[in-house]
Structure 1
């Protein structure tokens, strides 16, 4: 449990920095350049995503030896695209109903509603990202085996190994290794 809390805290720090990048660029594009909030949100999301990928894979999640790096990146990209869709939808909904030129005539309200939507989107997308990445990207098997060796558990090492081998996450990882193109490491 301590490891999970530690991991959530690291995820929170990386997420907070990514949010500052995302939020700062969003407000620059909407507030200064009067860009449409969904377009600005998409641009800012992608820029913060690059930071988030490298920081998450270095500080939050451990690379799994049973998964190819290209699959790791594909899962990260898939979860990010779902996150982008949720982000854009929530930001769009936050200003839904404002007249077409609201971002010029009612700029302060448009910016405020965009920021409120961004905050809601950030919380929802962060929860989505943690769950999907923890499930598919993190090396939970090694952690579970180490815990078992340290203090014993309800499951034996063989039972835990059998459970892991049947898991979707492990089967996906093994499939990715078996289907890695020649020359990719």
Structure 2
């Protein structure tokens, strides 16, 4: 019975994490889509250049959302390491996302606005998102070390304990 609860609680935590990551990603998707289309259609920039700019803006948006909401309870002691790894894995995701756009646009000759948006914002972003979720939760936003987590929990419990008062004193 206890093992079932453990598995169930892990699955529930994972589901909450995926939901939060997805909500942050949805905002990043909208930012990415808008910036991409403004760059291409408003400023006339090349599609891959526009894709890189849009993804970079979305990465910044997503970092704020993931750090301060999705993974707000994870270890914050090594922020520069976290940011460096976030940018590294986000950069790999950027290459995945815009590499698929470049392949579609230049390699396959699918140059319509619809084809560019599907290649970048559906296929590329979908594959990039799976990679980012896995890498962020594995390496970037790490849990507190076990000893520190136990100390934090013990400290919380000690503070929450009701104080015993003797009536005769």
Shorter-chain TM-score bucket reads 0.7 to 0.9
Q: Residue deviations 1:27-71, cap 9 Å, x none?
A: 111123222110000001111111111110111113315x51110
Separation of aligned partners in 2, 1:57 and 1:37: 30
Corresponding residue to 2:51 among 16, 41, 64: 41
Corresponding residue to 2:84 among 74, 78, 91: 74
Instruction: Extract structure 1 runs of 4+ deviating beyond 3 A.
Output: none
Q: 1:91 touches 1:114 (CA, 8 Å); kept in 2?
A: yes
Number of aligned residue pairs: 136
Once superposed, what is the RMSD of the aligned Cα atoms? 2.2
How far is 1:12 from its partner?
0.2
Q: TM-score, normalised by structure 1?
A: 0.67
Q: Which runs of 5+ in 1 are unaligned?
A: 103-108, 150-185
Q: 1:30 touches 1:111 (CA, 8 Å); kept in 2?
A: no
Residue 120 of structure 1 pairs with residue 131 of structure 2: no
How far is 1:93 from its partner?
1.2
Rg larger in 1 or in 2? 2
Taking CA–CA contacts closer than 8 Å with sequence separation of 6 or more, which of the two structures ends up with the larger relative contact order?
1
Aligned to 1:63: 74
How far is 1:140 from its partner?
7.0
Q: TM-score, normalised by structure 2?
A: 0.73
